[in-house]
Structures are given as structure tokens and as C-alpha cells.
């Protein structure tokens, strides 16, 4: 048997409970991982709440069909199912398992081998589990979709959380001048990380300011699309990877047309789990990308930390020690 945090219904953190479950057995192409660390992510929060409603198209309309959340895992291979050739018992592995059924909020998770990567030798489980989801939202947003260029002016909205911290490191690799927007409580932390400029969103609406940017990565998108045009340079790009659902839908529907008319691109990123992780590993090993962990906390703390995540009080990435 194993311990797991189980989601019984949509709602707040009182829908999560600590229970004992049977250890899953790996099926064809699956790997059973003894989970050493997991993390708290936006996917976990959205499924727990059942909001936005579009989330339920994947997780179940009336009640969740995903009972054990946990978007990211880091651990050791306990056993492998038939047809697994990529991993062996004892390997240290990590990955975003959101496309493999989730399962990180448990002592063991059986997931497809395609959702896992070997951990670099000098990486701890806590560092590893903080990386795949947030760092690849940043990488795919800035590099793959945002086409970041050397020396550009970049703004990151929601800069003090997991995605924003990694986005800073990536933008600095390109020699960019980086502005971060977040809550006042996070500004000193952000200055210490190396942001060139910081903005308290409660005092200043960056879309109403005179400063212009070449590229915006927006974790907290909340305005009508045309508001972002005001703060983009000619040929600028606004990439949204989170925020208000209606604002994101508007950008998804209108962004292409707006780009045709104005030459400024507005896009919504659709995360491709684990794609580009080799670039993140190289940056980590070279020391140009660092993890910033909020915690680690104990397994029993998951409901409390989910609530803190929902309030936006975390600084960096919330990490949970499982075993």
C-alpha cells in the first residue's frame, strides 16, 4: 500500500484527503516510479477547482476522473512494464506527467516511459521536480513561440512564481533587459534574482505605461487583447501562458487577425510536456539556470500549499518531499 492525496470532488482544498491506496502496477510501456518529490502547479489547481469549466472536458464534467493530482514527479525507477527499454530499476528520473495521467501526489506513480527523462548527476530530486512544467512554459513561450532575440526588451508578468523565475534566466541567456511584474511582497526577491526593473501590479498597470517591450511573457493575462498592443514595439510579441480564461480565449481567437493588421503578434502557448527539457538540463548543468524552491514541504502539507498557490503567495516553485 502507499499514501496518496486523493481528490474526491471539485472545489477547494477540503476536496483533498490523505488515504492509503494500492501501489499501481506498470502496464505495457509504463514505468513505476518511487516518488521522492513533487510540486504544485496551475494544472493541479485548475483540476481541483474544476475551473475554468473547459478543464472539465479533460478531467470530467460532473466529478473528477483524475483522483491523484501532481503534474511533476522526480524519483527512482521501482520496476518497469513490458516493452520498456529506456529505463532500468534504480534510474533517477523526472518529468511532467500531465499527459500520462498525473499521479505525483502519491508515494508511487506508474506513468508512460515517454513522460520521463534521466536526471543529471548533480541535480537533486527537489531541483528536478521544480523544472519540467514551469521551465518549459518559459522556454516554449520565449524561445519556440516568442522567437526571443539577442538584446531585446522583455517583460514577464507574474514574474515571482515558478514560470517567471525560469523565464528570467532564459531571457538573460539572450542578453535581454528584463522587467518583472508581480506582488509587492515578491519585488525584493525579484531584484535579487537579477530583474533589471520590477513593477508592483497593485500600484501600476504596465499596459497603461509609456514603456514599450519587444516581447511579453504573460502568466497572469487579464486584459482585452488591444491593451497589450499599446506596450509592444513594432514587431513585438505577447505570449500568454496563463491568466483570466476570457482574456486568453480572446487572444486565441483574435490574435492572428490583430497580427495581420498591426504586425504585432498575440499568441497563447499550448504547452508540449517535456519538449525542450534537454535545453533546460544543459542550462542547469552550466549554471545559467537555477531553481528557486519554495519549501520543500512535507507530503501532508499538500492541501495547505495548494491553497497558498491559489492565493499567489508562493515565491519560486512550491516543492513537496514525498518520501
pLDDT greater than 90 at residue 243: no
State percent of the chain over pLDDT 70.
Answer: 100
Of 42-51, 168-177, 201-210, 241-250, the range with the lowest mean pLDDT is 241-250
Phi, psi angles (nearest 5°) of residue 65: -95, 0
pLDDT at 150: 98
Helix, strand, coil shares of the chain as percentages rounded to 5? Answer: 35, 30, 35
- Indicate the fold that domain 135-268 takes in CATH: Rossmann fold (3.40.50)
- Which pLDDT does position 177 carry in this prediction? 98
Residue 295 has pLDDT above 90, yes or no: yes
Q: What pLDDT score was predicted for residue 137?
A: 96
Average pLDDT, integer, range 128-137: 96
Q: Are 129 and 39 in contact (CB under 8 A)?
A: yes
List pLDDT tens digits, range 14-58: 999 999 999 999 999 999 999 999 999 999 999 999 998 888 988
Mean pLDDT of the 263-271 span: 94
- Specify the pLDDT at position 74: 98
Domain ranges of the chain: 2-131+291-321, 135-268
Per-residue pLDDT at 52: 85
Look at residue 58 in the predicted model and tell me its pLDDT.
Answer: 86
**Cβ atoms of residues 83 and 31 within 8 Å:** no
pLDDT tens digit string along 61-114? Answer: 999 999 999 999 999 999 999 999 999 999 999 999 999 999 999 999 999 999
2-131+291-321 and 135-268: identical CATH topology:
no
pLDDT on residue 270:
92
CA distance 174 to 138: 13
CATH level 2 (architecture), domain 2-131+291-321: Alpha-Beta Complex (3.90)
Residues 6+ apart with CB under 8 A from 184: 200, 202, 203
**Model confidence pLDDT, tens digit, residues 184-232:** 999 999 999 999 999 999 999 999 999 999 999 999 999 999 999 999 9
**Residue 61, CB-side half-sphere exposure with 13 Å CA sphere:** 0
Report pLDDT for 245.
Answer: 85
Say whether pLDDT at 4 is over 90: yes
Length of the chain: 323
pLDDT level of residue 263 (50, 70, 90 thresholds): very high
Amino acid at each position: 500500500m502507499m499514501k496518496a492525496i486523493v481528490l474526491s470532488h471539485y472545489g477547494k482544498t477540503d476536496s483533498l484527503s490523505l488515504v492509503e491506496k494500492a501501489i499501481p502496477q506498470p502496464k505495457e510501456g509504463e514505468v513505476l516510479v518511487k516518488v521522492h518529490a513533487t510540486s504544485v502547479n496551475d494544472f493541479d489547481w485548475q483540476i481541483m477547482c474544476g475551473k475554468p469549466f473547459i478543464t472539465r472536458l479533460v478531467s470530467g464534467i460532473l466529478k473528477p476522473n483524475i483522483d491523484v493530482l501532481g503534474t511533476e514527479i522526480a524519483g527512482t525507477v521501482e520496476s518497469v512494464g513490458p516493452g520498456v527499454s529506456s529505463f532500468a530499476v534504480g534510474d533517477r528520473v523526472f518529468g511532467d506527467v500531465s499527459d500520462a495521467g498525473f499521479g505525483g501526489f502519491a508515494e508511487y506513480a506508474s506513468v508512460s516511459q515517454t513522460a520521463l527523462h534521466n536526471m543529471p548527476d548533480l541535480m537533486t530530486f527537489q531541483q528536478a521536480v521544480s523544472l519540467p512544467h514551469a521551465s518549459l512554459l518559459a522556454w516554449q513561450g520565449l524561445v519556440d513561440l516568442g522567437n526571443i532575440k539577442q538584446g531585446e526588451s522583455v517583460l514577464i508578468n507574474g514574474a515571482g512564481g515558478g514560470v517567471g523565475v525560469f523565464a528570467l534566466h532564459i531571457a538573460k541567456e539572450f542578453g535581454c533587459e528584463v522587467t518583472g511584474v508581480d506582488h509587492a511582497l515578491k519585488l525584493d526577491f525579484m531584484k535579487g534574482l537579477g530583474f533589471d526593473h520590477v513593477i508592483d501590479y497593485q500600484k501600476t498597470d504596465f499596459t497603461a505605461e509609456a514603456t514599450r517591450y519587444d516581447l511579453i511573457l504573460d502568466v497572469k493575462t487579464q486584459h482585452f487583447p488591444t491593451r497589450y498592443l499599446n506596450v509592444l514595439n513594432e514587431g513585438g510579441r505577447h505570449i500568454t501562458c496563463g491568466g483570466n480564461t476570457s482574456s486568453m480565449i480572446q487572444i486565441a481567437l483574435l490574435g492572428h487577425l490583430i497580427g495581420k493588421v498591426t504586425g504585432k503578434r498575440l499568441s497563447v502557448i499550448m504547452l508540449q510536456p517535456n519538449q525542450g527539457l534537454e535545453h533546460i538540463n544543459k542550462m542547469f548543468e552550466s549554471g545559467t539556470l537555477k531553481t528557486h524552491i519554495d519549501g520543500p514541504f512535507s507530503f501532508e502539507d499538500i492541501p495547505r500549499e495548494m491553497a497558498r498557490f491559489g492565493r499567489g503567495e508562493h515565491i519560486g516553485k512550491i516543492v513537496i518531499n514525498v518520501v
